[in-house]
């Protein structure tokens, strides 16, 4: 175990670690330990982990049943090359298929979300013999070359030097910023699907391998599809022989109150990408779930994709332990119930604070969209351009007061550990409330 002092942790980190997505010389907060819904710095200060780190530590930390399962597997067999069968990999795949929509047949394990999406792209192109992949602007699918080009948010820009060919973006059903007034969710869905169909035709429908979406957009501000959208998307894909890929890296494993978010709309994708909540961050693991049709395609064809750590034995053991935990403590039901309180708390904040334009939530997956002006909906910071660090300061104010989270653009994302109690949630919201009052006063 490392014996570094707090000062050494910070100094070595600044000297030797390159942090992702941040400008070179940051002053990192040194974290010493975590327990339940909290983590602690070296001065013993406690933080509500209101984003579950990167929306992955779904069950929080310090659970002996997870540690024990990992330790046991470590002694028996920590790792085996992917061609072998191991008990953890076999059991975990079977259980994931048991949780997935009933058209799903097999799991291919990866190390995280980006490589799950690389696999999804590869599979879609191989199975259809087509090249183009459609995805949306307000999306994040990872940062490896394919997943980075699949992503829509500005993090893709440096991966487009030059852009990988075959990636086409389309507009999200982001109603708050549509500029249009829809009478019903069905009307909104029809509008966005009509625009998409036009684009499919213009791009050559028979050249499009897949449409990939985040079932519920995560990092880019928890954008929830209007009812009818996903069903309509499925129908469009069927009409043109296009595969539907749902990225549930963030939305899966209980975040929205169900195993997979597609359940809310009863839609059956061809591929589901997952990661994060499958092991709750205890060990890295991701994967894709493929339909019976796709699995049949590979019966007599080589699956041309692989990773040394695909189906990592220890990671799969952690996955089984997490699924056991979700089941034993009825976590998905807890999310459904507490999600109602969470929604009310967010709505109360919206009533109280003029800096809030909209709140969006499903299960324990929420975002607060901040505006300068409620009437014209001007965002608190321009898209892709928070040059003055306005949002960074707000996240700093929250963290100083013990509420740790993140967000992109003008959104504060709130994705608490799924084990959080109502009392804990209410206490954390008191901190949020105090910081939003500061933002109000500065408008």
Ligand X SMILES: Cc1ncc(COP(=O)(O)O)c(C=O)c1O
Q: Point out which residues bind ligand X (CB under 6 A).
A: 54, 112-114, 117, 140-142, 214, 218-219, 247, 249-250, 275, 286
CA–CA distances in Å: residue 233 to residues 32, 86, 225, 292: 45, 37, 11, 20
**Least distance in angstroms from the C-beta of 110 to ligand X:** 9
**Least distance in angstroms from the C-beta of 190 to ligand X:** 26
**Least distance in angstroms from the C-beta of 73 to ligand X:** 21
Q: What angle do CA 310, 312, 313 make, to 5 degrees?
A: 145
Based on CB atoms, which residue is closest to ligand X, 112 or 225?
112
**Least distance in angstroms from the C-beta of 172 to ligand X:** 13
CA–CA distances in Å: residue 80 to residues 74, 200, 434: 12, 43, 51
CA–CA distances in Å: residue 389 to residues 119, 195, 381, 400: 36, 35, 9, 16
Strand extents, DSSP E, 313-388: 356-362, 365-373, 378-379
**Least distance in angstroms from the C-beta of 396 to ligand X:** 21
Based on CB atoms, which residue is closest to ligand X, 116 or 323?
116
For residues 422 and 428, give the distance between their C-alpha atoms in angstroms, rounded to a whole number. 10
| Beta-bridge partners for 273 | 247, 288
**Least distance in angstroms from the C-beta of 247 to ligand X:** 5
Based on CB atoms, which residue is closest to ligand X, 208 or 273?
273
CB distance 323 to 330 below 8 Å: no
**Least distance in angstroms from the C-beta of 351 to ligand X:** 30
Based on CB atoms, which residue is closest to ligand X, 246 or 345?
246
> Token digits for 320?
């089984």
Residue 405's region, left for phi above 0, alpha for psi from -120 to 50, else beta, is beta
| Beta-bridge partners for 287 | 109, 274
Q: Is 170 helix (H, G, I), strand (E, B) or coil?
A: strand
Based on CB atoms, which residue is closest to ligand X, 20 or 24?
20
Based on CB atoms, which residue is closest to ligand X, 208 or 251?
251
Based on CB atoms, which residue is closest to ligand X, 216 or 371?
216
Q: Which one, of 100, 79, 44, lies nearest residue 252 by Cα?
A: 100
The residue whose Cβ lies closest to ligand X is: 113
**Cβ neighbour number for residue 355 with a 10 Å cutoff:** 25
Cis peptide before 162 (omega within 30 of 0): yes
**Least distance in angstroms from the C-beta of 141 to ligand X:** 5
Chain mean position to CA 375? 30
Based on CB atoms, which residue is closest to ligand X, 41 or 263?
263
């Amino acid at each position: 175990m490392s014996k570094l002092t707090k000062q050494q942790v910070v100094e070595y980190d600044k000297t030797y670690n390159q942090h992702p997505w941040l400008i070179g010389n940051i002053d990192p907060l040194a974290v010493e330990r975590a327990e339940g819904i909290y983590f602690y710095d070296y001065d013993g200060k406690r933080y509500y982990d209101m984003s579950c780190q990167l929306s992955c530590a779904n069950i929080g930390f310090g659970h002996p049943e997870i540690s024990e399962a990992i330790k046991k597997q470590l002694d028996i067999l920590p790792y085996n090359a992917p061609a072998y069968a191991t008990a953890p990999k076999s059991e975990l795949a079977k259980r994931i298929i048991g949780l997935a929509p009933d058209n799903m047949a097999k799991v291919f394990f990866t190390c995280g979300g980006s490589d799950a999406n690389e696999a999804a792209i590869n599979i879609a192109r191989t199975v259809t013999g087509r090249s183009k992949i459609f995805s949306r602007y307000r999306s994040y699918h990872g940062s490896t070359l394919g997943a980075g080009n699949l992503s829509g948010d500005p993090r893709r820009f440096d991966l487009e030097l030059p852009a990988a060919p075959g990636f086409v973006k389309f507009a999200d059903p982001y109603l708050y910023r549509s500029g249009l007034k829809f009478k019903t969710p069905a009307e909104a869905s029809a509008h966005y699907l009509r625009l998409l169909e036009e684009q499919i035709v213009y791009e050559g429908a028979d050249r499009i391998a897949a449409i990939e979406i985040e079932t519920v957009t995560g990092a880019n501000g928890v954008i929830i599809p209007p009812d009818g959208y996903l069903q309509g998307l499925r129908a469009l894909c069927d009409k043109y022989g296009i595969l539907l890929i749902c990225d549930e890296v963030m939305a899966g494993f209980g975040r929205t109150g169900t195993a997979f978010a597609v359940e809310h709309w009863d839609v059956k994708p061809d591929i589901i990408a997952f990661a994060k909540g499958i092991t709750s961050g205890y060990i890295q693991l991701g994967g894709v779930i493929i339909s019976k049709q796709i699995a049949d395609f590979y019966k007599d064809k080589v699956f041309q994709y692989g990773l040394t750590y695909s189906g990592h034995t220890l990671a799969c053991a952690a996955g089984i332990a997490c699924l056991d935990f979700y089941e034993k403590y009825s976590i998905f039901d807890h999310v459904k119930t507490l999600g109602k309180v969470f929604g009310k708390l967010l709505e109360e904040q919206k009533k109280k604070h003029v800096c809030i334009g909209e709140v969006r939530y499903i299960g324990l997956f929420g975002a607060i969209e901040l505006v300068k002006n409620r009437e014209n909906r001007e965002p608190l910071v321009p898209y892709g351009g928070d040059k003055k660090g306005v949002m960074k300061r707000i996240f700093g104010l929250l963290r100083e007061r013990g509420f740790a989270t993140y967000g992109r653009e003008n959104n504060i994302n709130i994705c608490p550990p799924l084990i959080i109690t109502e009392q804990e949630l209410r206490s954390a919201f008191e901190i949020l409330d105090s910081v939003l009052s500061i933002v109000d006063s500065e408008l």
